[in-house]
Amino acid sequence: MSSIQTQFPNLTARHAVYAAVDPKGALAGSAAGKVVFISGASRGIGQATAVAFAQAGARAVYLAARTEAALEETRTLVLAANPATHCALRACDVTVAAEVEAAVADCLARFGAIDVADANAGYLGPWTRIGQSDPDGWWWTWEVNLRGAYHVLRHTLAPLTESARRHDAMGKSGGHLILLSSIGGQLVLPGASDYQTAKHAVNRLCEFVQVDHGADGIKCFALHPGGVATELGLNMPEAMHGYLVDEPTLAAGFCIWLASGQADWATGRYLSATWDVPELLAIKDAILTDDLLVNRLRAVL
């Protein structure tokens, strides 16, 4: 049996929104009163996630990405999904700490809180063997995928901690942090050394967030959004485009589920939006008992 078959749970693969992750169905109202900060919100999965949080009743959604004009399109979709959801935006390069800090400060000034942070911005360059790779291009993949995620979490941790305390006092769940990962972080494919090592590091970063700040109420997850035919996904070799069969709304709905409190038991772990949620919940005890879905080196003695 191959490593890809043995390192992931054998769950029904989902490719589109279904009952358990439907922001207008089972999760309707689950984001009520919450302020959501999303980087990489101008298109694709980030855009779909912004709309889904509005559908789930979010009080406000703050959009960040490099291009303000593209963010305006997302804001139009958010307001159409739920006119009661406030929406603001700011051009922001996640690789620049000061720009992320300014965006977070603007969100707090406008809405007074951040209850959910989604570090969604990502980058995938050409697949090239290490010996033929461009050093600056190779490292830029890490700058966006890992440093960008770090900047978002670093500057949202304080308001997320406050959110966790506030919600805990009300008997609710807050302080959710979602880091965009990838199944690639668990694979070793020729030519993908920059992207796949960066996403592997995102998974471990998620674990460190939980170790360092779990006691503060932070709930962090590393999320594989599925194979989505976004601009990033289509940068993969053409032979792999057949795997891009998942709707961006699936990952968006899964993010709503993560932020609903129903997944708080799985903090610090790698999860896939394609995993069937009821089946995942059915193996919760096994995951916790054996400490699964984390990066570990297992040796047979």
CB 198 within 8 A of CB 142: yes
Give yes or no: 199 in active site. yes
* Residue 267 phi, psi (nearest 5): -60, 150
Catalytic residue among 195, 219, 243, 284: 195
| Residue 65 tokens, joined | 């990405």
Residues with Cβ within 8 Å of 34's Cβ and at least 6 positions away in sequence, in order, are 53, 58, 59, 115, 116, 174, 259
Q: Is the dihedral of CA 77, 81, 84, 86 positive or negative?
A: negative
* Active-site option among 34, 62, 150, 199: 199
Separation CA 74–CA 178 (nearest Å): 19
62 is catalytic: no
**CA end-to-end distance (rounded Å), the chain:** 20
* Active site positions, annotated: 195, 199
